Structure 1
Amino acid sequence: MMIRDMTNSREPQGRLPDPGQKGVKAIPVSIYGTLLAFTLSSGIEQWTSTGLNVTLPDLTGTLGSSADEASWAITVYNTAFAVSVTLSHRLANRLGNRRMLSLACVIYALTSLGCALSPELPLFLCFRVLQGLAGGVFLARTLVFVTQRFEPKDRTAYLRTYGLGVFLIGRFASPILSGWFADNWSWRLLFLINVPAMLLAGWIFHRYTSPHWISEVEDYKPDIPGIALLMLGAAALQAALSRGEIDDWFGSNTIVLLTTIGIVCNLLFAAWQLTPKNRQPVLHLDYLGDRGVFSAAVLGVVLGMLLGGSLYVLPQYLRRVESHSALQTGVFISITGVATLVTLSAVQWIGAAIFKLGGKTVMAFALFVQMTAMGWFGHIVTVDTPDRNLWAPLILNGIFVGISVPTLAVAAFMRVDAKHVSTARAIYYGARQFGASLGVTAVVVLLDRRQSLHSSRLLEHFFGRNLSILGVSAQSESAIRFSGAITRQALVLTYADIFYTMAALAGVMLLFLPILPSTVGGAAKPAIREPQTRPQSEPALHAVLDGPHEAAS
C-alpha cells in the first residue's frame, strides 16, 4: 500500500491564541474555522432531524401519506446516514477532508431544496436518502478532526463548545422554529433554511480545512465489492423494515425475500472485509477484536434505539394524544434540549467522574435516569395530562442524552490510539445510527399492534355490556362518540406501553455494560493492532498524535 506525505498541504497560516491557556503553542486559524464549519453543519443536520420529528403530522397531510409511511422519512435517512458514516473514513482518504466535506455540504443543501419542493412522498424519500448519505460524514469526521488536531488536554474544551453549538441549533432552536413554521407557514421552511446555512458551512470547509489532518495517509483504491454489498444489504433491510407492518411482515413473500437479501449481503460484506484477499477493506472489522470498539458497536446499537425512539415518540405523543400544536410540541421538546445543553456544559465533570468512578458506573447512572424518565411518562400519560406534569420526565430525558452520549464515546474509545480513531468511529457511529433506525421502526410497529389490541379489548369490554345502563344505544350518535373516546383511550394505553418498553430497553442495556473496558484511573495501553494492509516499517505513521482518544461526542 502506498503512503502519501501530506505535510505540505495548503493551510492558512494565520494564528489565534488558544483561549484560556497561557504560554502554550498558538492554534492556526484554519483549525478554528474547521471547528466552526463542523458545528454549523452538524447543527443543521440535527436541526433537520429534530424539526422533522416535530412536524411529521403536518408532512403526512401535505404529501398524502399515512403516519406509518411518513416515518420512512426518518428511517431511510438513518439508514443512509449509517452507510455514509461507514464509508466516511475511506472517502476522506480518497477525496481529502476539504473536498469531501465541502461536497457533502453542497449535496445536503441541494437535497434539502429537493425535500422542500417535493410534491409527493416517493420523491421526498429519494431526496432524504441522498441527504442522509451527505449528512453522515459530519459527526464522525468531527471526532476524528478533534482527536488528530488538538492536544489531549484541549479536546474536552473544544468538544464542549462544539456540542453546545450543535445542540443549541438542533435540539433547542429547531423544535421551536420548525413548529412555528408548520403552524404559521409551512413545514417546508424547515428544509429551506438548510440551503444557505449548508452552503456557508461548505465555503468555510473549503476555505479553512486541510485535505488531511495527519502527516501520512493511505493511498486507497475503492473496495467496490464491499461498498456494493454494504449498500445493497442496507437498502434491502430498510425496505423490509419499512414495508413490514403494511405487508404483514413474514406473511409476505416480498418481505421474506428482502430480509434474506439483506442478511446475506451483510454477512458477505463482513466476510469480505475480514478476508486476507481484500487488501483495502471499507472497514477494518478486525478492530472489533478490541474490547473498546466491540463494546462501542454493541452498546451503540442499543443507545441508538433509545435516542432515536425517544426523539420520535415524544413529539408524536404530544401531537396525537395531547392534541398540541406543532409550536406547543416544539416548546416541550426544547425543554429536553435545554436539559441536554446544561448537562453538556458540565462535560469536564462527567469526564472526571469517568476516570474516578469508571465509565460503567456513569453510564449505568445515565440509564437509570432514562428508565425513570420513560417509566414516569408511562405512569402519567392520560388523554389530558396537565402540561406541568410533563416537565420533569422531559428534563430527565435531556439529562440522559447529555450524559450517555459523551460517556460511551469516552469509555469505549479510551484504549483506541488516535491513528485508529477514524475507522473505529465509523464502526461506532454506523452501529448507533442503525440502532436509531431500528428504534423508530420498533415504535411504529408497537403503535400499530398495541393500538389495535387495546381498541379491540376496550370495544369488546364496553359494547359487550348493556349500554342502555349508560344511556347509549348501539345506533345513536352517543355510541359513535363513545367509540371515538375508546379509540383515543386505546392510543393512550399504547403510548404508555411504548414508554414502558423503552424503560425496559434501557434496563437491558445495563446488562451489557460489563463489556465496556475499565476506565478507572485513566486510559489503558492502546489495544488495537495495526491492520495487515498497513505497512509496519513506517515509524512516522505509528508516531502520529500519540495518546489515547479522550473526546466526547
Structure 2
Amino acid sequence: MSTSKGSGADPAAPQRADASAWLAVAAGSLGAMMATLDISIVNSALPTIQGEIGASGTEGTWISTAYLVAEIVIIPLSAWLERMLGLRTFLLGAAILFTIFSMVCGVSTNLTMMVIGRVGQGFTGGALIPTAMTIIATRLPRSQQPIGNAIFGVTAILGPLLGPLIGGWLTENISWHYAFFLNLPVGILLVTLLLTTMPHARPQWRELRQADWFGIAGMALGLGGLTIVLEEGQREQWFQSRVIVEMAIVTAIGFVLLFAGQVYAKRPVIKLSLLLDRQFGSVAVMGLVIGMMLYGSAYVIPQFLAAIADYNALQSGKIVLISGIPSMILMPFTPFMIRNIDIRIAVGLGLAAMATSCLIDTVLTAQAVGHDFVDSQLLRGVGTIMGFLFLNQAAIASVPREDAGDAAGLFNAVRNLGGSLALAGIATVQDQRTWFHSRRLEESLSANSVGVQDYLSTLGKSLGGPDAALRTLSGTIQREALVMTFNDIFWILGVGILAVLPLVLFLRPLPKGQSVAMH
C-alpha cells in the first residue's frame, strides 16, 4: 500500500506520537515484514521442498504462485474489510489466520496441502501489507510520518530479499519446515502488540450490503482460473485438455463479472477506470513488467544455482540477497532523490538497469556459479530502488486525491499479477525450451561421427561400459539444454523491460512536496 500527499494523520493526533503509536507502527511493520518475507522464503528451499512432498519442478511453481495470486485478490479488498471490521479486528484476524496457515504449510506432506496453506498465507498476509501504511497515516502526525514511511520502506525491501536467505539457512541447518514454523513466535508477538496498542472499533456490517460482490467473485475466478490455465496448460496440452477448456471458461466468466462490477457497483472493488488515464495506465504496465522481473529473477536464480552449480538453499539465498545491498544504501537518500530527480530520468535509468541486469545473465554457461550473478544482482538492486520507488510515487500522483487508495491497491495488485504471470510463464518456457534445446543438441551429434564415437569410447573405458557413457552424454545434453533455457528466460525478461521503456515519456513530474510512499 502507499500513501499520497493527501493522506495525513488523524486530525486528533498529537504533534508528536506517543509510545503506543510507535508500538502500533512497529506492529504494522512487523506484520508487513512477515508477509513480504513469506513471498520469497520458499524460493531457495524449493528444490528441497519439491523433493519431500513429491512435486515436479513445474508443479513446484504453484508453491510460489499460489501466494501471489491470493495476495492480488486481497490487496484491493483490504480497505473495504478494514472499514467493515475495524482496523484492529481486521489485523488480529489476519495475523492469527496467517500464523495458522503457516503451520499448515510447515506440516504439509503433499502438494495439495502445501498449496492450500500458501493460498491461506497469501490471503491473510496480503492484508497485513497495506494496513501497515494505514497505521502510519492515522497514528502518526504529519511531521513524523516520513520516519514511519522509512521504517515501512525497510521492511518492504528487506522482506523479499531476506526470505531466500532465511529459508535457505533454516533448510540447510534445521529443516525447511521451520521456514514456516518461524511465523509462530512472530505471530504471537504481533498479536500481543496489536491487542495492547490498537484501539477497538465497532464493526460496520452495513458495508456488506455495499460490497462489489460481482467484482470480488470476478477477481477470484478470473485470476485463479488464469493462473491454472498458465500453470497447467503446457502439461495438459493446452486446449486439448478438458480441464484447461473449463478453466478458460471460468476465467472468462470471472473477468465478465469483474467488469460488471465496474458498471453496477456503487464502489467497485478495484477501480479499473483509472487505467484509462494515460500516466496511470503507463505506470501500471511498467509495474506489471517490473513485477515479472522482480519475482521471476528471484525464482530463477535459486533454481539455476541448485540445478547447475549444485548450490544448497543457503548459498542460493546469499546470492539473491546481493540485490538488496544497493537498495539499503540508497534508501536514506530516497526523499532527496524524489525531490530533485525528474521522474522520467529516474524511472528510465531504473528500467534500463533492470533490463541490463537480465541481459547480463543471458550468457550463462554450465560452469557458472554464484559470483557470476554478482554484477547483475547489484544492477538489479539499483534499478529496483530507482524505478519502482518513483513509479509508486507516480501511481499516487497521477490520480485525484480521493482515488489514491484505489490507485495504490491497483498498482500493487498489478505488480503481484506480473509476478504470478512470470512464475506461471517460466514453468511453461522451461518445459518447452528445454525440450527444444535438447532436440537441437541431439541433432547436432551424429552417431556415425568419428569424434562422437571416440568420445563415447574414451568415456566408456573410464566409466565401465558403453551404457554408462551414453547416460553421461545424455545428462550433459540435458544440462546444457537447461542452461540455454535459463538464458532464454533472462532474455525474455530483459527484452520485456526494454519494450515498456518508452512509456516513461508519458510520466509527468511529481508535485513539489510529494511525500514518500512505499511498497
Residue 218 to residue 509, structure 1, CA distance change in 2 (3 Å): farther
| Distance (Å, rounded) in 2 between the aligned partners of 1:121 and 1:388 | 33
CA contact (8 A) 1:109 1:194 kept: yes
| Distance (Å, rounded) in 2 between the aligned partners of 1:549 and 1:308 | 27
CA contact (8 A) 2:71 2:122 kept: yes
| Distance (Å, rounded) in 1 between the aligned partners of 2:270 and 2:475 | 52
Q: Counterpart in 1 of 2:251?
A: 262
| Aligned sequence identity (%) | 25
CA contact (8 A) 1:407 1:552 kept: no
Once the two structures are TM-superposed, the CA of residue 479 in structure 1 deviates from its matched residue by: 2.3
| Distance (Å, rounded) in 1 between the aligned partners of 2:140 and 2:397 | 16
Equivalences for 1:35-434 in 2 at 5 Å?
35-147=25-137, 154-172=144-162, 174-210=163-199, 221=209, 222-275=211-264, 278-353=265-340, 356-357=341-342, 359-379=343-363, 381-434=364-417
Q: Counterpart in 2 of 1:468?
A: 453
Coordinate RMSD, CA, aligned:
2.6
Q: Which moved more, 1:386-395 or 1:106-115?
A: 386-395
**2:309 partner SS:** coil
| Distance (Å, rounded) in 2 between the aligned partners of 1:149 and 1:405 | 26
Q: Which moved more, 1:137-146 or 1:242-251?
A: 137-146
Once the two structures are TM-superposed, the CA of residue 424 in structure 1 deviates from its matched residue by: 2.0
| Distance (Å, rounded) in 2 between the aligned partners of 1:350 and 1:211 | 39
Corresponding position: 1:453 with 2:420: no
CA contact (8 A) 1:45 1:170 kept: no
Once the two structures are TM-superposed, the CA of residue 138 in structure 1 deviates from its matched residue by: 2.3
| Distance (Å, rounded) in 2 between the aligned partners of 1:155 and 1:351 | 16
Once the two structures are TM-superposed, the CA of residue 95 in structure 1 deviates from its matched residue by: 0.9
- The Cα offsets for residues 437-458 of structure 1, whole Å up to 9 and x where unpaired, read as 0011111111111111111110
| Distance (Å, rounded) in 1 between the aligned partners of 2:29 and 2:231 | 32
| Distance (Å, rounded) in 1 between the aligned partners of 2:293 and 2:367 | 25
Q: Which moved more, 1:462-471 or 1:300-309?
A: 462-471
Once the two structures are TM-superposed, the CA of residue 92 in structure 1 deviates from its matched residue by: 1.0
Q: Which has the higher helix share?
A: 2
CA contact (8 A) 1:344 1:403 kept: no
- Normalised to the residue count of structure 2, the TM-score between the two structures is 0.89
| Distance (Å, rounded) in 2 between the aligned partners of 1:242 and 1:146 | 38
> What 5-or-longer segments of structure 2 have no aligned partner?
1-9
CA contact (8 A) 1:236 1:258 kept: yes
Q: How many residues align?
A: 498
- Aligned partner letter, 1:414: A
CA contact (8 A) 2:146 2:515 kept: no
Q: Counterpart in 1 of 2:5?
A: none
Residue 104 to residue 488, structure 1, CA distance change in 2 (3 Å): same
- Aligned partner letter, 1:361: I
Once the two structures are TM-superposed, the CA of residue 227 in structure 1 deviates from its matched residue by: 1.9
| Distance (Å, rounded) in 2 between the aligned partners of 1:425 and 1:478 | 58
| Distance (Å, rounded) in 1 between the aligned partners of 2:429 and 2:63 | 18
CA contact (8 A) 2:285 2:500 kept: no
CA contact (8 A) 1:156 1:552 kept: no
Equivalences for 1:475-490 in 2 at 5 Å?
475-490=466-481
Q: Counterpart in 2 of 1:545?
A: none
Q: Which moved more, 1:426-435 or 1:187-196?
A: 426-435
| Distance (Å, rounded) in 1 between the aligned partners of 2:206 and 2:400 | 17
| Distance (Å, rounded) in 2 between the aligned partners of 1:50 and 1:345 | 24
| Distance (Å, rounded) in 2 between the aligned partners of 1:202 and 1:131 | 16
CA contact (8 A) 1:178 1:190 kept: yes
Q: Counterpart in 2 of 1:494?
A: 485
- The Cα offsets for residues 267-287 of structure 1, whole Å up to 9 and x where unpaired, read as 331232223xx2243234344
Q: Counterpart in 2 of 1:540?
A: none
| Distance (Å, rounded) in 1 between the aligned partners of 2:109 and 2:510 | 55
| Distance (Å, rounded) in 2 between the aligned partners of 1:386 and 1:78 | 29
Once the two structures are TM-superposed, the CA of residue 219 in structure 1 deviates from its matched residue by: 5.1
> What 5-or-longer segments of structure 1 have no aligned partner?
1-8, 16-24, 524-547
| Distance (Å, rounded) in 1 between the aligned partners of 2:68 and 2:408 | 17
Q: Which moved more, 1:120-129 or 1:224-233?
A: 224-233
CA contact (8 A) 2:73 2:413 kept: yes
Residue 169 to residue 432, structure 1, CA distance change in 2 (3 Å): closer
**1:27 partner SS:** coil
| Distance (Å, rounded) in 2 between the aligned partners of 1:211 and 1:291 | 41
CA contact (8 A) 1:414 1:550 kept: no
Residue 210 to residue 504, structure 1, CA distance change in 2 (3 Å): farther
Once the two structures are TM-superposed, the CA of residue 433 in structure 1 deviates from its matched residue by: 1.1
Residue 388 to residue 304, structure 1, CA distance change in 2 (3 Å): closer
- The Cα offsets for residues 4-26 of structure 1, whole Å up to 9 and x where unpaired, read as xxxxx9x9x9x7xxxxxxxxx21
**1:196 partner SS:** helix
| Distance (Å, rounded) in 1 between the aligned partners of 2:276 and 2:355 | 31
- The Cα offsets for residues 372-424 of structure 1, whole Å up to 9 and x where unpaired, read as 11111112x11112543321111111222222221111122124455432222
CA contact (8 A) 1:144 1:421 kept: no
Residue 405 to residue 208, structure 1, CA distance change in 2 (3 Å): farther
- Normalised to the residue count of structure 1, the TM-score between the two structures is 0.84
Match of 1:519 among 501, 504, 509: 509
